[in-house]
Amino acid sequence: MKQIFYTILIILFITSNLFAFEKKNVSKSDSCILIIGPNFQGTLFQENYIFDLSPNKSKRLTVKTQYYLESLIKDTKIPWTPNVSDIYEFESNFVKILKEYTTDDEYVNYHLPEIRKKIEKYRRQYIGFKDSNNHKHLWIQFFLDDTKITKPDEDIIIILGGGSALLLLIVDLEENKIEQFWVNEPI
């Protein structure tokens, strides 16, 4: 009975986007959508979002998300904003995807058991893009909710260090698999 209730609740979330709220930022060019699901909370940054890399947020160094992705991904990146339903669909499969994920990276492997146990406690930041084959991808930054990061629903967070409190993933939505997985180094 409990399982039927949760299944109905998830279907309602997915079909109605009941818990998706659009937030308007300071300028028209940058916007994001806060998404709250049954086991996750995250922010979807739209393709036109511009964020400030200046250490003091002086707006001296502002970049588009695609520029930031250039440093992480070698393939062509085409701007794309996922629908909220794309995020819900990914999240509904993510625990299974994470459970099946394997890598040769010893550092990531060391942290994977702990990450798998705590994955629901991580907040997310999503940026969508397409590759040269027109495959849809998500760049997802995960950070533990208790890290006290300011304004994670308004700004893309960049943190050096932090260990397994901060993860970066590149996910191929067409293949439904993790392509790249980074765990931040400790401070």
pTM over 0.75, yes/no: no
Asked if the structure places residue 3 within a domain, the reply is: no
In the numeric block, which tokens belong to residue 55? 């250490």
Asked if the structure places residue 6 within a domain, the reply is: no
Domain of residue 168, residue span:
19-183
Contact (Cβ atoms closer than 8 angstroms) between residue 111 and residue 119: no
Kindly report, residue by residue over 50-88, the tens digit of the pLDDT. Answer: 665 555 555 555 455 555 566 556 666 788 889 999 999
Predicted local confidence at residue 24, as pLDDT: 32
The DSSP secondary structure of 93-157, one letter per residue, reads HHHHHHHH---S-HHHHHHHHHHHHHGGGEEEEEEEEE-TT--EEEEEEEEEGGG--S-TTTS--
Asked if the structure places residue 113 within a domain, the reply is: yes
Number of separate domains in the chain: 1
Asked if the structure places residue 2 within a domain, the reply is: no
Residue carrying the six token digits 């993790």 = 178
Cα gap 64→41, rounded to integer Å: 23
Kindly report, residue by residue over 51-61, the tens digit of the pLDDT. Answer: 655 555 555 55
Asked if the structure places residue 10 within a domain, the reply is: no
Asked if the structure places residue 124 within a domain, the reply is: yes
Question: pLDDT averaged over consecutive 10-residue blocks of the chain (187 residues)?
Answer: 42 39 33 88 83 56 55 69 93 94 93 94 90 88 72 70 85 92 83
Asked if the structure places residue 5 within a domain, the reply is: no
